[in-house]
Amino acid sequence: MDSRTAIQVGRGGLVVLLSERAVKEACAERGWSLSELARRAGISRPTLATALRGQSVRPRTAWKLARALEQGAPTQLARLLEVA
């Protein structure tokens, strides 16, 4: 099991790690591609791909993703976060 936590303090400040599985499941539940999620969230597809590879993202990016997913059906932000 990975010892990373969902929210960390990085060199640039607070960062968030997302769960690739949870993001993909949320998209599948809505019938969305990852590109559609990125479009709805107002982020670039490369930014989303980076997050899904386990790289940290800014809290604002995680919020945008959660907000976009709530447009399709309610999703808890905690579900998208990487759990240790």
Residue of 68, 49, 57 whose CA lies nearest to 6? 57
Q: Does domain 7-80 have CATH number 1.10.260.40?
A: yes
Domain boundaries, the chain: 7-80
pLDDT tens profile 38-76: 999 999 999 999 999 989 888 899 889 988 988 755 555
pLDDT tens profile 10-42: 676 778 888 888 899 989 989 999 999 999 999
Q: pTM of this prediction?
A: 0.75
